[in-house]
Amino acid sequence: MFNRKDKHTIDSLIGVSTTIEGDLHFKGGLRIDGQVKGNVIADPNSSSMLVISEQAKIDGEVRASHIVVNGEINGPVFSSELLEIQPKARISGDVHYKALEMMNGALVAGKLGHEQLAEPVLKLAASN
């Protein structure tokens, strides 16, 4: 359905027995299996991938280019590229995305908003 030419790798892992309190900023790829009480925000100037596993729970805002959710998020979600909402995902908060894949069984308690890119402005050259 979508062109999968992006080749993200997971650079960091938050283990299932780990709890982080405070905002988490990252670059590249991050997988969360544990719990984060704070915002999870990728560097906006580079491509990023965030995987939230079935065991994971995030209480805060989530921002990344490509996000795969199969766990729980309590807060708004912002995906500048692709948002994949897997069957066991539970999101309580508004969701903003450029492209969306949502599987049967996923739950979203919030508004879904498609973020449209600004249309390019075409200027015609006037002949004299």
All structural domains of the chain with their residue ranges: 12-114
pLDDT at 125 > cutoff 80: no
pLDDT at 67 > cutoff 60: yes
Query: What pLDDT score was predicted for residue 11?
Result: 87
Digit-coded pLDDT (tens) for 87-108: 999 999 999 999 999 999 999 9
Q: Are 58 and 73 in contact (CB under 8 A)?
A: yes
pTM of the model: 0.84
Task: Tell me the C-alpha distance between 46 and 41, whole Å.
Answer: 12
Question: Which has the higher per-residue pLDDT, 29 or 124?
Answer: 29
**Arithmetic mean of pLDDT, 68-84:** 97
Tokens coding 127:
């002949």
Tokens coding 84:
């994949």
